[in-house]
Structure 1
Amino acid sequence: MAASHNRVDCENTEGLRNWLLELRPGGIEWWSRRDAAPVAPVEQDPAELRRERLRRLVREQATGLSERGRELLAHVIDFHRRAKKRAAQSSLGGRSTRTFSKAPF
């Protein structure tokens, strides 16, 4: 089911791209990175910096655990913060913007 849903998403995205290219007037250059304004660095939350440092230390120094065990432990460091955030989003009836974090491994 998920694979067919992903396939449909890809087909729709490609169809949208092709349609937009058909509408695009001739003589317009493609966007390039050199034309973009410089990106201002984003300041990270000090608490997130501390959590990331702790996750790194767990991955490097929890030698009594397997590699997978270290990754799992590093991932659950801020479990309660993430769970609380999801609960708050659920209480809004799904109206908030959902953010995805990268996979722990």
Structure 2
Amino acid sequence: MAAAALVGARPLVEWLRLEWRPGTPLRTPSDRLAFRPVAGLEELVGLMTRVLDGTLDAYSRNDLSRMPAAEAAAESAAESAAFRRAGYTAFAHSLEMVWP
């Protein structure tokens, strides 16, 4: 990354995706955080719509400049489902650079 910065590149977006895998032990439930499956697509899109408010994610901000949050969330949920059906797994860390 330092070498890229020397020629004028700068980070555009950096993602961390955390996932729970079945069979992984969970901490004792608390009032602060609970893990459970979503009840369905409607609940998932509702949750995703709420977290888009104030997002710093460059791609999500671009989506929000072109469409309402609920539409962006529904599109993202559909894309994620398609990737899972195709056999892709979640990445752990990704960094995308913008070049001058």
Q: For the superposition of Structure 1 and Structure 2, which TM-score range results when normalised by the shorter chain?
A: under 0.3
Which is helix-richer, 1 or 2?
1
